Structure 1
Amino acid sequence: MKIETFQDLIEWTRQLHAYLAECLKHCATRQEEARAKWLLEYLADHEAILEQAVAGFEKQADPKALHTWVYDYLSHAPIAPHQVCHSPYAEMSFDDICQAIFALHDQVLKLYRYLEGRAEIPETRELVRELLKLEEHEAMRLTHQINRARDL
């Protein structure tokens, strides 16, 4: 997907979460380890919820921010959604799945932090800041839930 505006960025993020949710859900059906299967199902649900939350930004965001060009996007080169599912989650251990998912979310967070610092108008800065807060909050929640699962 070619990203030219902040609206494109939101759509890219939504698609990323949607694709990851489907990939994790599919891999869960092939996972043999019970704890890893539970994790994949939980992560799939979590990504589906994130997809819906990100989609809400398109409806509520300031049109001026949505239609602002993202000049620095191509030079930053974030994750391509089609590369997300190259990892064989169905064959990975609980810890390997966690590491892969956290690495992916860290890349999204780094992209938003980078764009927040580069946003030139207040409306886009606020939009990216809100997206960043959502992603950070969900990453913390995910970390907390997974750590609780490790303790079981």
Structure 2
Amino acid sequence: MDIKTFGQLIDWTRDLHSHLASCLSHCATKHEEERARALLDYLATHESEIERIVNEFEHQGDKKALETRVYDYLSHNPIKTHRTCDEPYAKLDFDGICREVFDFHDQIIDLYKTLIGKAEIPEAKELFESLLAMEENESMRLARQVGRMQDL
């Protein structure tokens, strides 16, 4: 994807959450371990919810901020994810799935932090601060829920 504006970058992160949700859901049907299947189902639902939230940011975001050109975003380490779902999560255990998904969220959090520093107008900075807060809150909520699942 050729990303030129903050709006396109938000689209890209939304698409990453969407793809992860689809992949997790697909792998849930293939996993042999019941506990891992339940985790994958929960994570897929959670990623779909984050996709919806990010979409709302784009629809309600300041037009000036969304149309702001973004420079050097690729100098930030690109987000590593399973862009093609060849069932990677179906082969991981519960803890491995957690590590992968939390690493994905940490990468997005790092990206948003980098973009806050690159934002040249206050509206763009505010938009990415809001996205960062949402991503951090969703990651904490996810950690709590996964912790409860581990206790079972």
Q: Same fold (TM over 0.5)?
A: yes
Shift of 1:77: 3.8
2:78 equivalent to 1:78:
yes
Contact 1:6 1:65 (C-alpha < 8 Å) held by counterparts = yes
Task: Name whichever structure is richer in helix by fraction.
Answer: 1
Structure 2 letter corresponding to 1:120: E
Q: Which residue of 2 aligns with 1:130?
A: 130
Contact 1:14 1:55 (C-alpha < 8 Å) held by counterparts = yes
Q: Kindly report which structure 2 residues correspond to 1:1-150, keeping only aligned pairs within 5 A, or say none.
A: 1-79=1-79, 83=83, 85=85, 88-150=88-150
- Unpaired segments ≥5 residues, structure 1: none
Structure 2 letter corresponding to 1:10: I
Spell out structure 1 runs of 4+ moving beyond 6 A.
Answer: none
RMSD: 1.5
Aligned length: 152
Shift of 1:82: 5.6
- Unpaired segments ≥5 residues, structure 2: none
The TM-score with structure 1 as length reference comes to 0.95
Contact 2:27 2:87 (C-alpha < 8 Å) held by counterparts = no
